[in-house]
């Protein structure tokens, strides 16, 4: 049975590992295109159905609620059965659910179809992160996590941009069907991808005996790692802001800049797609800095998130016109530089047999405190005042995230040294 050291630290050959990574990248891209395509169609939907901004926000939030509630239970299946098969099956579910949105005839039907998308997407991030952590050596983990997560802004931008263009040209329902098909093809291909052998969740006790983990041991594995807990909540703060920006920036441009849906969706997509530069850039910087500063995987997110907060504050409150747009583009690059380090930490400081569950906790916290709440809270504030006021408090949420990452960086090295090393094997 071949082990990672037989391929220079890669689980499979480097070429096959990169092929699996490409499929993972494309699936994440279509994951976010499917969930975000609705955001630039709010005005078109409201023209057909009499719904409020709060109800529009729920069309996004309900997906994150479903993911937040289901991702941890699904992660048990991922860790104990198969990462590749679980990913493929769930991607098929969310693609079909996206297509069903095109057949809805009222708000309730669309709402229910969006819930089904969340059911399908619940296990993807934990499964994908666990598989990438196994595919590549530890020293390349931040870089590959950064490259993988670059698909999030790219997919979101494609969804937002295509939604606005198709809604204005063909009608908003057509957009759902058109973005669903590519993901379905990739999902079917992924069912035939190789996996690594399921890791035995055991540890060496004080008597030097190998002991299978029980529920209390798994709980202790998480709760005794301060850097892990702080990373979960730091990620949630940033995700709150990025979700709010993706969902409401088109509406902000329409209301404050008098843009058409097609233009507002394209501009909002352009701002967020710049994170495709920031996410891998953060990964390269963190892996390089980590050679001299072991805390880099949390210290860098603290610095980049603080900078993002300052840039966003200036752009939303002190500028307008072209100056505002330029600074929003800078924000688009900066905001996702945190993800490579933070995502790697969720895998670094946990037992290898619990990696999917670790990222599942991260996803649950992000979705329930960040992605789920952001569209509703910003939508509610907008209903009570205006969209400009609703967006103005987002930089302060980023300050909280920066502080959490900084505190977590002081525990990271100690938590890393507690982790048991286990070599993975190809299934």
pLDDT tens across 42-55, in order?
A: 888 888 888 888 88
H or E element at residue 202: strand 202-204
Q: Are 333 and 278 in contact (CB under 8 A)?
A: yes
Report how far residue 210's alpha carbon sits from residue 265's, in angstroms, rounded to the nearest whole number: 55
% of the chain surpassing 70 pLDDT: 92
- Predicted pLDDT at 404: 98
Question: Does 425 fall in a domain?
Answer: no
Number of domains present in the structure of the chain? 1
Which tokens sit at 57? 């926000």
Domain encompassing residue 8? 4-416
* 156 against 395, higher pLDDT: 395
Question: Does 20 fall in a domain?
Answer: yes
What is the mean predicted confidence (pLDDT) over 167-185?
Answer: 83
* CB burial of residue 246 (10 Å; 0-12, 13-18, 19+): buried
- Where residue 146 falls among pLDDT bands split at 50, 70, 90? confident
The predicted-structure confidence for 294-338, as pLDDT tens digits, reads as follows 999 999 999 999 999 999 999 998 888 888 889 999 999 999 899
Question: Does 60 fall in a domain?
Answer: yes
Which tokens sit at 18? 């990169």
**361 in helix, strand or coil?**
helix
- Predicted pLDDT at 124: 85
Question: Does 423 fall in a domain?
Answer: no
Report how far residue 305's alpha carbon sits from residue 397's, in angstroms, rounded to the nearest whole number: 10
Q: Spell out where 208-298 has E strands.
A: 210-212
| pLDDT > 60? residue 293 | yes
- With a CB cutoff of 8 Å and minimum separation 6, the contacts of 56 are 42, 45, 46, 375, 379
| CA-wise closest residue to 268 among 320, 225, 331, 209 | 331
What average pLDDT does the chain have?
85
Report how far residue 117's alpha carbon sits from residue 251's, in angstroms, rounded to the nearest whole number: 23
For residue 393, the domain's CATH number is 1.20.1250.20
- Where residue 6 falls among pLDDT bands split at 50, 70, 90? very low
Question: Does 76 fall in a domain?
Answer: yes
- With a CB cutoff of 8 Å and minimum separation 6, the contacts of 402 are 234, 301, 302, 303, 305, 306, 309
The predicted-structure confidence for 108-133, as pLDDT tens digits, reads as follows 999 999 999 988 888 788 888 888 88
DSSP character string of 282-335: HHHHHHHHTTT-TTHHHHHHHHHHHHHHHHHHHHHHT--HHHHHHHHHHHHHHG
Question: Does 193 fall in a domain?
Answer: yes
H or E element at residue 113: helix 107-121
Phi, psi of 102 (to 5 degrees): -70, -15
Report how far residue 373's alpha carbon sits from residue 366's, in angstroms, rounded to the nearest whole number: 10
Report how far residue 403's alpha carbon sits from residue 234's, in angstroms, rounded to the nearest whole number: 8
| pLDDT > 70? residue 203 | no
Question: Does 422 fall in a domain?
Answer: no
- With a CB cutoff of 8 Å and minimum separation 6, the contacts of 12 are 20, 135, 194, 426
- Where residue 1 falls among pLDDT bands split at 50, 70, 90? very low
Report how far residue 315's alpha carbon sits from residue 336's, in angstroms, rounded to the nearest whole number: 17
| Burial profile 265-277: b = 16 or more Cβ within 10 angstroms, e = fewer | bbbbbbbbbbbbb
% of the chain surpassing 90 pLDDT: 29
- Predicted pLDDT at 396: 95
- Where residue 5 falls among pLDDT bands split at 50, 70, 90? very low
Report how far residue 183's alpha carbon sits from residue 181's, in angstroms, rounded to the nearest whole number: 6
Question: Does 201 fall in a domain?
Answer: yes
- Predicted pLDDT at 314: 95
């Amino acid at each position: 049975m071949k082990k990672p050291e037989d391929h220079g630290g890669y689980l499979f050959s480097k070429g096959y590992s990169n092929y699996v990574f490409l499929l993972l990248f494309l699936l994440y891209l279509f994951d976010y295109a499917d969930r975000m395509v609705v955001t630039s169609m709010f005005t078109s939907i409201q023209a057909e159905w009499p719904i409020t901004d709060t109800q529009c926000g729920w069309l996004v939030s309900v997906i994150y609620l479903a993911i937040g509630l289901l991702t941890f239970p699904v992660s048990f299946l991922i860790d104990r059965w198969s990462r590749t098969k679980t990913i493929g099956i769930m991607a098929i579910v969310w693609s079909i659910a996206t297509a069903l949105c095109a057949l809805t005839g009222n708000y309730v039907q669309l709402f229910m179809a969006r819930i089904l998308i969340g059911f399908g997407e619940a296990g993807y991030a934990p499964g994908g992160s666990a598989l990438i952590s196994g595919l590549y050596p530890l020293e390349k983990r931040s870089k590959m996590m950064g490259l993988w997560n670059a698909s999030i802004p790219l997919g979101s931008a494609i969804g937002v941009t295509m939604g606005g263009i198709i809604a204005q040209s063909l009608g908003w329902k057509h957009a759902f069907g058109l973005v669903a098909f590519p993901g379905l093809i990739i999902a079917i291909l992924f069912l035939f991808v190789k996996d690594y052998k399921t890791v035995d969740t055991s540890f060496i006790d004080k008597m030097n005996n190998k002991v299978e983990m029980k529920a209390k041991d798994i709980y202790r594995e998480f709760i005794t790692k301060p850097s892990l807990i702080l990373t979960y909540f730091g990620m949630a703060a940033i995700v709150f802001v990025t979700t709010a920006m993706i969902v409401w920036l088109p509406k902000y441009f329409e209301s404050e800049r008098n843009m058409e849906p097609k233009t507002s969706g394209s501009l909002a997509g352009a701002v967020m797609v710049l994170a495709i530069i920031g996410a891998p850039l953060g990964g390269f910087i963190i892996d390089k800095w980590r050679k001299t500063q072991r805390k880099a995987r949390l210290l860098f997110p603290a610095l980049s998130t603080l900078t993002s907060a300052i840039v966003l504050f200036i752009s939303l409150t002190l500028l307008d016109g072209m100056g505002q747009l330029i600074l929003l583009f800078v924000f688009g690059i900066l905001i996702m530089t945190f993800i490579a380090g933070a995502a790697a930490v969720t895998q670094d400081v946990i037992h290898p047999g619990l990696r999917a569950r670790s990222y599942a906790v991260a996803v649950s916290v992000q979705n329930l405190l960040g992605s789920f709440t952001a569209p509703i809270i910003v939508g509610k504030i907008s209903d009570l005042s205006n969209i400009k006021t609703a967006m103005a408090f987002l930089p302060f949420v980023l300050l909280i995230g920066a502080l959490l990452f900084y505190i977590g960086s002081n525990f990271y090295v100690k938590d890393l040294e507690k982790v048991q090393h286990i070599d993975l094997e190809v299934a």
